[in-house]
Amino acid sequence: MDFLSAFLSGFHIALDPMNLFYCFSGAILGTLIGVLPGLGPAPTIALLLPITFRLGPVQSTIMLAGIYYGAMYGGSTTSILVNIPGEAASVVTCLDGYEMAKKGRAGPALGISAFGSFIGGTLSVLGLMLLAKPLAGVALKFGPPEYFGILCLGLTLVIYLAQKSILKSLIMASFGLALGVVGMDIVTGDVRFGFGIAELNDGVGLVPTLMGLFGISEVILNLEKEMRIDFIKSKINNLLPTLRDWADSKMAIARGTIIGFLLGILPGGGSIVASFVSYALEKKFSRHPEKFGTGVIEGVAAPETANNAASGGAFIPLFALGIPANVTMALLLTCLMIHGLQPGPTLINLHPDVFWGTVGSMYIGNIMCLIFNLPMIGVWVQVLRVPYKLLFPLIILFCTIGAYSVNNSTFDIFLMLFFGVLGYIFRKLEFELPPLVLAFILGPMLETALRQSLILSKGSFMIFFTRPIAGVAMGFIFVSLVLSAIPGLKTLRKKVIEEKEEEF
C-alpha cells in the first residue's frame, strides 16, 4: 500500500459513521474533561478503559485519542476565564490568558487559543503520518538488547524531566518496577510476591491501580480544599482574533508547533514540559519580555499551540516503537494490548487500519474541536458551575464500576481503594505519580527484554554496550544521569563551602 492510498484509506476508515461517532464523542468528552479543574485525560482514559473492551481496536483508539487532544483544547477555557487550569498543560496559559480576560479581551484570548491549538494539532498529525512508518522500519531491526536500551532511556528521561524532586521520581519509578514484577515469572512460572493471594498470580491489575491512583486520590485530595471559582463578569465577545493579534502570534504559533512536536516525541517530555518551554522561549524572543504576565496574546498562543502539538508527537514512539512517551500514551498502549495488538514496528504493517484510521480521525477531530470549542464557551462556563459535591460521588461510582467490570472481582475494588489511599499519601508528600505508572507499565517489557538479551549473550551484560543502538542508548542514559546530578552537586559544594567558612 503506497503512502497516498494508505492516507486516503485512513480517512475512509475515520469517516465510517460509527468511527465518526466515537471520534466526536472522544473530542467532546476530552474538551469537557479539559474544562473541569482537577480532572485530566489520564484519569478519564483509565475510567473508560472497561468501556473499550466492548469496542474494536480502531474505535477504542479513535475515542481515547480524541479524549487526549480534546483535553488540550478544553484546558485553556478555565485558565483564561477563571484562572484555574482545567488541564495541567494549561497552567502557563493562566499567566497571560486571565490578564487578557480581566482587560475585556477574553474573546481574542479564547480565539487565538483555539486556532493555535488547531494549527499545532494538525501539523503534528502531519508529522506523525510522515515519521512513524520510517521510524518503524528502522525499529524492525531492533532486538531485545536494543529494546532494553530504549526502554531504560525512556525511564531515565522521564525521571530527568521530572517537575519536582528527581530523588522522589526515582523512588516512584522503582516502586512502579517492583509492582510490575508481581505475579508469575515469565521464565520459571513461579509466582513472585503473591503473598498467597490467588488474584495476584496474574500480577497487579492495571485498571484498578490507575483508577485508584488518579480517580480516588483526586477525590480525596479535593475534599480537603474548598473549590471557589471567580468568573469573569464581563461579556465574552470578538472571539475571532484581529489582524494585529495574528501578527503578534504568528511566530509564537510557529515556534510552539515545532517545540511541542519535538518534546512530544521525547519520552517524559509531553504537553506540560512543551507549554513551559514554549512560553519561556517566546518570552526570550520577545521585544517586550517585561509585558509577559500582564496579558500579551503571544503568552497564550505559544503554550496552547505547543501542548496540542505535543499531543500529536507523542503518538510517534507509541506506534513506531511501542514505547509510551507519557502516562496517557501508556494507557493507550494498555488499550491496544487488551485488544491483542502489540504497538511497535509491526503494528503499522500488520494493522494499518488502526494506525491510518487513528491518523485520519485526528485530522477530523481537530476540526471538530475547533468548530465546537468557541461556540460552546457558554456551555463550558455553565459546566463549571456544577457543584463538586455532586461531581465527586459520580467519579467514585464510575471508578468502582470500571474496576469491578474488568474481572468481575470484588478484590479489584479493594485494590482500587488501596491505591487510592496510597496515591493520596504520595501526592500529599509531593511524590509524582507519572514515573510510577510508566515504570509499572514498562516494567514487564523491560524485564522480558533484559532476560532475552542475557539468554542471547549467555549471561554477559556486555551485549548492551557492544550492540550499536543499545550502546548509544546506554551512553545517553549516562549523560542524562550526569546532567541531572550536576545541580545537586553544585548545591552540595556550595553548602560545604559555607559550612567551612562558618568554622573559620
For 176-210, write each residue's pLDDT tens digit.
Answer: 888 988 888 877 778 888 888 888 888 888 778 87
Q: Give the other-Cβ count within 10 Å of 118's Cβ.
A: 21
Q: Give the model confidence (pLDDT) of 262-320 as tens digits.
A: 877 765 556 766 777 788 788 777 788 777 777 788 888 888 888 888 888 888 888 87
pLDDT at 12: 87
C-alpha cell at position 335: 488499550
- Ramachandran class of 405: left when φ > 0, alpha when ψ lies in -120 to 50, beta otherwise: alpha
Q: At what angle do helices 243-265 and 106-139 cross, to 10 degrees?
A: 30
* pLDDT the model gives residue 418: 92
State the pLDDT at residue 157. 59
Q: Could you tell me the end-to-end alpha-carbon distance of the chain, in angstroms, rounded to an integer?
A: 77
Query: Residue 236 has what pLDDT?
Result: 62
pLDDT for 422 equals 92
Burial class (CB in 10 A: 0-12, 13-18, 19+), 291: middle
Tell me which amino acid residue 126 is: L
**pLDDT grade, residue 471 (50/70/90)?**
confident
Mean pLDDT of the chain: 78
Residue 15 has pLDDT above 80, yes or no: yes
Q: C-alpha cell of 49?
A: 478503559
| 23-56 pLDDT, tens digit each | 888 888 888 877 766 566 777 777 777 777 788 8
Give residue 494's pLDDT: 63
pLDDT digits (tens, 9 = 90+) for 338-373: 888 877 777 877 888 888 888 888 888 888 888 877
Q: What is the pLDDT of residue 159?
A: 59
What pLDDT does 108 receive?
Answer: 84
- Ordered DSSP codes for 403-463: HHHHHT-HHHHHHHHHHHHHHHHHHHTT--SHHHHHHHHHHHHHHHHHHHHHHHTTT-TTH
Determine which of 37-41, 148-152, 304-308, 424-428 has the lowest per-residue pLDDT on average. 37-41
Check residues 482 and 414 and name the one with the higher pLDDT. Answer: 414
93 against 21, higher pLDDT: 21
Q: Higher pLDDT residue, 77 or 431?
A: 431
pLDDT of amino acid 164:
66
Q: What is the pLDDT of residue 497?
A: 59
pLDDT for 99-131, tens place per residue? 888 777 777 888 888 888 888 888 888 888 888
Comparison of pLDDT for 16 and 132, the residue scoring more = 16
SS3 344: coil
Look at 225 and 275; give whichever has higher pLDDT.
275
- Of 501, 448, 500, 491, nearest to 144 by C-alpha is 448
- Residue 51: the pLDDT is 77
pLDDT band at 425; cut points 50, 70, 90: very high
Q: DSSP labels for 346-380?
A: THHHH-HHHHHHHHHHHHHHHHHHHHHHTTTHHHH
Query: pTM of the prediction?
Result: 0.68
* Number of Cβ atoms within 10 Å of the Cβ of 220: 18
How far apart are the C-alpha atoms of 403 and 216, rounded to whole Å? Answer: 12
